[in-house]
Amino acid sequence: MERVFMKGCQAIAEAAIRAGCRFFAGYPITPQNEIPEYFSRRLPEVGGVFLQGESETASAAMLYGAGATGIRAMTSSSSCGISLMSEAIGWMAGACIPVVICNVSRGGPGIGSIQPSQQDYFQATKASGNGGFRMLVFAPSTVQEAVDMTYRAFDLAQKYKYPVYILTDGFTGEMMEPVVLPPMRSEEFLAAERKANEAWAVRGRGGAPKAHKIRCGTRFGVRCPLEQKNKEDWEMYERWKKDEIEYETDGTEDAELIITAYGISARIARSAVSILRKEGYKVGFIRPIKIHPFPEIAYEQLDYSRLRGILCAEMSIPPQFTYDVEAVVRKRAPIGTCLRSGGEIIERSAIIEAAKKLYGAK
């Protein structure tokens, strides 16, 4: 397998194109500028369309339009830019449009800082717009994972006819690592999908008296009372809890302490776990791969009689991911935190120190 050395943002864009993405609209914001920059050069080469909108609001609305035609389409932004897009994201969930949205997050709230951060957890998993909709949310921790998850995000968007969200951060977006790129989706595959999508997508009237209309508050273009749409969406979210949960664990069986983290913090936490184990601490590791649906089962399976505590590591002050852990742990074990925020990277030594404190260091 040929490995190429790529920056996270560029790797995400290339993976999207290989997954069949043929439309991108976006607006510049650090630290995700390499995504639109890469698309602007690469999309015309594959017969796709790149548009730099006049704002995030406009770009997300353009994505809504492109997605409504049944093609594979995507946008990206960062934190406060994603906030500006939240109106259209809600509309796309409202109209069941299969698109991919990538947030290369930075410090907040508001304009915050251009430095990397994990302060958009709630926004991504619980409230990316009004109306209480949810999305599948991937959280990569390496450039390779960013590639693989982006590729899969397009398939899942089509499978559920719903927006899929990738929550990454400025570290993962800016860092370079060797990656193996997935194969290019064939034109035949994409054409067949577009053909199948004609069942609901807007494709022009073509002389016919009536054509499909995309409306917010429908499912797959079919009009129904809003409450029925809400119920069907909810049923889909519940199905995700069976079919779409993704997480990894390591050494949880005999663990006396669990360290848990997602995204960029997870790779740092994992290296802390490795050191602690070498020092003789019985430490286990839980890492949600998708942060929505939240992998409650990973925490339910723990043997709480052995546990001295669970340490949550995230780059958000106040913590956010920690609340989801607390909700499933329900006071069965003490919960500690190791936090940074506002563009500061979480340090492995800080995680180790916090873990030892919670462990009741010898």
Partner 1 sequence: MENTVLIGGIGGQGILVFGQLLCLAAMEATDKYVTYFPSYSMEKRGGTSDCYVTISDEPVGSPKAEKSDYVVVFANMALKKFQHALNPGGTLFVDTSVCTEKTDRTDVHVVEVPAGEIAREMGDARVANLCMLGAFIGYTGILPPDKVLDAAHKTIGAKRPELRALNEEAFSKGLEIGAQAKAAHAASV
Q: Which of these segments, 59-67, 94-102, 250-258, 265-273, binds partner 1 (CB under 8 A)?
A: 265-273
**312-351 residues near partner 1, rule: CB under 8 A:** 345-349
Nearer to partner 1, 35 or 71 (CB): 35
Q: In angstroms, rounded to a whole number, what is the distance separating the alpha carbons of residues 99 and 63?
A: 8
**10-49 residues near partner 1, rule: CB under 8 A:** none
Question: Can you read off the two tokens belonging to residue 242?
Answer: 């069976």
Q: Which of these segments, 36-44, 190-198, 233-241, 266-274, binds partner 1 (CB under 8 A)?
A: 266-274
Residues touching partner 1, count (CB under 8 A): 21
Q: Residue 174 interacts with partner 1 (CB under 8 A)?
A: yes
Q: Which of these segments, 129-137, 157-165, 171-179, 286-294, binds partner 1 (CB under 8 A)?
A: 171-179
Q: Residue 113 interacts with partner 1 (CB under 8 A)?
A: no
Query: Residue by residue, what is the 3-state secondary structure of the chain?
Result: CCCEEEEHHHHHHHHHHHHCCCEEEECCCCCCCHHHHHHHHHHHHHCCEEEECCCHHHHHHHHHHHHCCCCCEEEEECCHHHHHHHHHHHHHHHHCCCCEEEEEEECCCCCCCCCECCCCHHHHHCCCCCCCCCCEEECCCCHHHHHHHHHHHHHHHHHHCCCEEEEEEHHHHHCEEEECCCCCCCHHHHHHHHHHHCCCCCCCCCCCCCCCCCCCCEECCEECCHHHHHHHHHHHHHHHHHHCCCEEEECCCCCCEEEECCHHHHHHHHHHHHHHHHCCCCEEEEEECEEECCCHHHHHCCCCCCCCEEEEEECCCCCCHHHHHHHHHCCCCCEEEEECCCCCCCCHHHHHHHHHHHHCCC
Report, in Å, the least distance between residue 300 CB and partner 1. Answer: 27
**49-108 residues near partner 1, rule: CB under 8 A:** none
Nearer to partner 1, 85 or 273 (CB): 273
Q: Residue 356 interacts with partner 1 (CB under 8 A)?
A: no
Q: Residue 272 interacts with partner 1 (CB under 8 A)?
A: yes
Q: Which of these segments, 198-206, 207-215, 231-239, 260-268, binds partner 1 (CB under 8 A)?
A: 260-268
Nearer to partner 1, 174 or 296 (CB): 174
Q: Residue 5 interacts with partner 1 (CB under 8 A)?
A: yes
* Residue in 43, 268, 283, 335 binding partner 1, rule: CB under 8 A: 268
Q: Which of these segments, 49-57, 73-81, 168-176, 300-308, binds partner 1 (CB under 8 A)?
A: 168-176
Report, in Å, the least distance between residue 80 CB and partner 1. Answer: 18
- The residues that touch partner 1, with contacts defined as CB under 8 A, are 3, 5, 142, 171, 174-178, 264, 267-268, 270-272, 274, 345-349
